[in-house]
Amino acid sequence: MGKGVFIPLNGKKVQEGLREVWERFLKTSLKALLVPIESEGFISPGLIGTPDGIERTRALAPYIPINTARLLQMLTKLEPPSEPIGVVARPCEIRAAIELRKLKQVAEKNLLLLAIDCGGTYPLRVYQEKLKEGKVEEVQVDQSLIRDACKVCTYPVAPWSDLRVCYMGIDEGIFLEALTEEGERLLKESGFEVEDREFEKRKRVLSELIQDKAQKEDELLRYQQEELKGYEALLRELSICIKCHNCMTVCPICYCKECFFNSPSFEFEADRFLNLLESKGVLRLPTEVLLFHLTRMAHMALSCVGCGMCQEGCPQGVRVFVLFKAVAKKVQGIFQYEPGRDPKETLPLTTFKEEELKEVESRLHVP
């Protein structure tokens, strides 16, 4: 592990311990916290500014309605905050925020990223059932019920953030691990003593969990290669796509203000469809579903953090995540790039290297 603060729970629940941490942050050094809250009986990210709101925080609710990185983009679109805000979010949200920072879409100033351990999140319907049983927050998430994206996620812990909020594999306590100077300053300003700590059990628990998820990831990629590959299989999967653009809207990485697919390039005269009909015989509407998904892949697969919100947002049940996961794995592998791993790592497509990828160049005369 590393530098940080160990907070013993003394018999309290993890969520209670976390609320005390949030309270301390708000009383001393943060103007507000962006954290999952209970709002009219349901869970959503929300801002709390005074310690009064602490009771409403639900940082351990195993449900993610929207990738918080999207909200950070909205919050800091015009100006970063004038006073520090802490953002409590899951590793996939933190990683997406780092990618959006590289794309100049999320501010750095006064925005502290606090990454909380994540054992996975449930699909909406499953979580609604859990709520009926009164299970709002869970430390141990039922691995058989979590979303496809979470089942294969090898990031229960964020590779980078200002502060890691650690509880997995730690007995009777929470560890706040500072990874940046800003994170360390936050702890010190909040009156915590920073020390070096190691947690052998946590290391073991996490490595077992990651190993298990990596195996499930392999299985998913194999499934895609066997079942969702080739013209026929792909078109069959996309035949249920209605091009509603939901996957694009909820994707934290798809950030363009003026999307090509909402542009006049896709406004056609009726006769254009008739021309297309002539060459095809039968024309399925809406058109360009394959083009839509392929273009989105080409645009954002390198920064895809695999949060799976695309599949969650699809009203038709297209397995968008499975397709994106497979493609992202491939193209990120080409550049040995892991989105959200390190804010200093530059985006491969904006980095010039004189000698690279010679194998894709087509040559007239094979040497």
Partner 1 sequence: MIKGILEVLGLEPERVFLTWIGASEGPQFAQWAHRIDQFVKEKGLNPLNKSSIT
- CA 212, 217, 220, 226 dihedral sign is negative
Instruction: Dump the DSSP string for 202-224.
Output: HHHHHHHHHHHHHHHHHHHHHHH
| Cβ nearer to partner 1, comparing 194 with 228 | 228
**CA–CA gap between residue 162 and residue 4 (Å, rounded):** 11
Binds partner 1 (CB under 8 A): choice among 298, 316, 342, 356: 298
Q: How far is the CB of 252 from partner 1 (least distance, A)?
A: 20
Given the rule CB under 8 A, which of 22-30, 88-96, 107-115, 275-283 is the region that contacts partner 1? 275-283
SS3 call for 86: strand
Q: Is 294 in the site for partner 1 (CB under 8 A)?
A: yes
Is residue 283 close enough to count as binding partner 1 by CB under 8 A?
yes
From candidates 41, 134, 264, 281, binder to partner 1 by CB under 8 A: 281
At its nearest, how many Å lie between partner 1 and the CB of residue 137?
A: 38
> Per rule CB under 8 A, is residue 110 in the interface with partner 1?
no
Nearest alpha-carbon partner for 83 in 128, 126, 28: 28
The span of 25-33, 114-122, 136-144, 323-331 binding partner 1 (CB under 8 A) equals 323-331
- Binding of partner 1 at residue 338 (CB under 8 A)? no
Site for partner 1 in 199-228 (CB under 8 A): 224-225, 228
Binding mask 300-319 for partner 1 (x = CB under 8 A): -xx-----------------
Ordered alpha helix ranges (H), the chain: 14-28, 68-75, 91-102, 124-132, 148-151, 181-189, 200-227, 231-238, 246-250, 270-280, 289-300, 309-313, 320-334
Quote the least distance from Cβ 275 to partner 1, whole Å: 12
Both structure tokens of 172? 């009777």
| Angle value at C-alpha 67, between 63 and 70, nearest 5 degrees | 155
Sheet with 2-8, strands from edge to edge, namely 42-48, 32-39, 85-89, 111-116, 163-166, 173-178, 2-8, 195-197
> Of residues 282, 315, 353, 367, which one binds partner 1 by CB under 8 A?
282
Between the alpha carbon of residue 196 and those of residues 125, 137, 162, 167, 359, the distances in Å are 42, 29, 16, 16, 47
Kindly tell me which residue out of 78, 270, 360, 366 binds partner 1, with binding defined by CB under 8 A: 360
Q: Which residue of 111, 152, 238, 248 would you call a contact of partner 1, by CB under 8 A?
A: 238
The span from the CA of 36 to the CA of 48, in Å, is 10
Output 32 or 327, the one with its CB closest to partner 1.
327
Q: Is 289 in the site for partner 1 (CB under 8 A)?
A: yes
188-192: long-range contacts at Cβ-Cβ below 8 A with a sequence spacing of 24 or more? 189/28, 189/29, 190/24, 190/25, 190/28, 190/29, 191/24, 191/28, 192/5, 192/24
Identity of the residue, 33 or 220, whose beta carbon is nearer to partner 1 in the bound complex: 220
CB of 105 to partner 1, least distance (A): 21
Size of residue set near partner 1 by CB under 8 A: 41
The stretch among 12-20, 83-91, 161-169, 291-299 that binds partner 1 (CB under 8 A) is 291-299
* Among the listed residues 214, 268, 330, 346, the single contact to partner 1 using CB under 8 A: 330
- Single out the residue of 104, 257, 280, 344 in contact with partner 1 (rule: CB under 8 A): 280
**CB of 196 or CB of 355, closer to partner 1:** 355
Q: How far apart are CA 148 and CA 216, in angstroms?
A: 10
* Least distance in angstroms from the C-beta of 303 to partner 1: 12
CB–CB of 169/139 below 8 Å? Answer: no
Query: Which member of 231, 352, 355, 367 binds partner 1 (CB under 8 A)?
Result: 231
- How far is residue 5 from each of residues 191, 192, 345, measured CA to CA in Å? 10, 7, 28
Instruction: List residues near partner 1 by CB under 8 A.
Output: 224-225, 228-231, 233-235, 238-239, 276, 279-284, 287-291, 294, 297-298, 301-302, 323, 326-327, 329-331, 334, 349, 360-364
